[in-house]
Amino acid sequence: MPVAEAVEPGNSPESKGAPAVLPVAVDAMGGDFAPAEIVAGARRAFEELGIPVVLVGPGDGSLGDTGGLEVIAASEVIEMDDDPAKSVRNKKDSSLVRAAEAVRDGRASAMVSAGNTGAAMASALLRMGRLRGVMRPAIATPLPALSGAPTLLVDAGANAECQPEWLVQFAQMGAAFATARYGTARPKVALLSIGEEASKGNGLVKATHELLTGGGGEPGFEFVGNVEGRDLLTGDVDVVVTDGFTGNVALKTLEGALRAFMTILGKVFATSEETKAAGDVLAPSLLEYALRLDPEETGGAMLLGVDGVCVISHGSSSARAIVNAVRVAHDSAAGGLSQRLGDAVSPGA
């Protein structure tokens, strides 16, 4: 493996005397723009950030110039619309499954995929297994806040149907992840509901509310009660806990709203020569906010609760999104995320 030359302070994968750092396994065949954008992102993560990366994909040279990055051979590809469970069972030599195995076998510190989300979850779960004590892994997706650290939405889509006890674990793992990733000392955790009062919500929310308020509270976070959909972008809380159905609907609703607003701005700018000029004046300032809201900047979603680090990047990931995802994956593995999640769920175990 080539040696990194450009290393950011604090991110050094190969400090003097430290043990060799395992590479991040990147699924080269996952995502709408695979493999070109994925390979480009992986190369940049290595070349610019000095993070060791191993690509997983066809070993026949069809990945193009990998910039010297090692390739773990995988002859099959799980498509975006393949059935998750079936494809993981049937495509044993797929890049996604092999990436998960690389983590399981100690060849990689973490995996990153922009492919089929369900299949990424299934691969990670089936190959790495669950962390001890974890009932169900969940997806933590960072929602951009207008100021401060993102709010983590957990579960953003792993479990369409949930039990109250699982949601309590989502709160524990989400809080531990917020602390690990954003340095939030005692994260504020809220339940997504349809009213702030404890009496509001469906049976799942009410039962979870009771579990989270009973027994003197949780050591790792502060439970602040219910929030509503309109609170997701305010940045007032660090973690919003919900079932994977509601979480995924809320996430996609935000995506749709973002798209609608971009469409509107585009139409407004295109109204006349004058509005076009006005748009040019606003562009730099707008771009600053656009970057803050851009999912490509957040590094993707983290699958919490499997025995290893698994970052799931958006299907439309560009090279830039992959760079960020690799950085988050590397930092999370180096920071002992799995250990911290395990401790959060089974304290003192």
The one among 62, 90, 202, 316 contacting its own copies by CB under 8 A: 202
What is the footprint of its own copies within residues 28-47 (CB under 8 A)?
A: none
The span from the CA of 193 to the CA of 17, in Å, is: 50
What is the footprint of its own copies within residues 203-242 (CB under 8 A)?
A: 203, 205, 228-234, 242
By beta-carbon proximity to its own copies, the closer residue of 131 and 227 is 227
Nearest to 120 by CA among 165, 157, 152: 157
CB 146, min distance to its own copies, A: 6
Contacts with its own copies: how many residues (CB under 8 A)?
Answer: 58
346 near its own copies (CB under 8 A):
no
CB 189, min distance to its own copies, A: 17
Q: Which residues pair with residue 311 across a beta bridge?
A: 112, 302
Nearest to 71 by CA among 31, 26, 4, 116: 26
291 near its own copies (CB under 8 A):
no
CB 313, min distance to its own copies, A: 17
Which residue blocks in 214-311 are alpha helix, DSSP H?
Answer: 244-269, 273-293
90 near its own copies (CB under 8 A):
no
List of residues 6+ apart from 183 with CB closer than 8 A:
none
15 near its own copies (CB under 8 A):
no
194 near its own copies (CB under 8 A):
yes
By beta-carbon proximity to its own copies, the closer residue of 15 and 147 is 147
By beta-carbon proximity to its own copies, the closer residue of 128 and 153 is 153
Q: What track of x and - describes contact with its own copies for positions 163 through 192 (by CB under 8 A)?
A: -----------------------------x
List of residues 6+ apart from 86 with CB closer than 8 A:
none
Strand order of the β-sheet with 239-241 is 70-73, 53-57, 24-27, 110-113, 309-312, 301-304, 138-143, 151-154, 239-241, 188-192, 222-227
Task: Compute φ and ψ for 224, nearest 5 degrees.
Answer: -105, 10
Helix (H, G, I), strand (E, B) or coil at 134: coil
By beta-carbon proximity to its own copies, the closer residue of 172 and 242 is 242
Task: Compute φ and ψ for 139, nearest 5 degrees.
Answer: -95, 125
By beta-carbon proximity to its own copies, the closer residue of 20 and 281 is 281
By beta-carbon proximity to its own copies, the closer residue of 157 and 305 is 157
Helices 95-104 and 117-128: crossing angle in degrees, nearest 10, is 30
The span from the CA of 142 to the CA of 78, in Å, is: 25
Angle at 337 between CA 334 and CA 338, to 5 degrees: 115
11 near its own copies (CB under 8 A):
no
By beta-carbon proximity to its own copies, the closer residue of 28 and 78 is 78
What is the footprint of its own copies within residues 244-283 (CB under 8 A)?
A: 244-246, 248-261, 263-264, 267-269, 271, 274-275, 277-279, 281-282
The span from the CA of 33 to the CA of 318, in Å, is: 7
The one among 135, 224, 286, 334 contacting its own copies by CB under 8 A: 286
Angle at 242 between CA 240 and CA 244, to 5 degrees: 125
80 near its own copies (CB under 8 A):
no
Binding site for its own copies (CB under 8 A): 81, 83, 146, 157, 160-161, 192-194, 197, 199-203, 205, 228-234, 242-246, 248-261, 263-264, 267-269, 271, 274-275, 277-279, 281-282, 285-286, 289
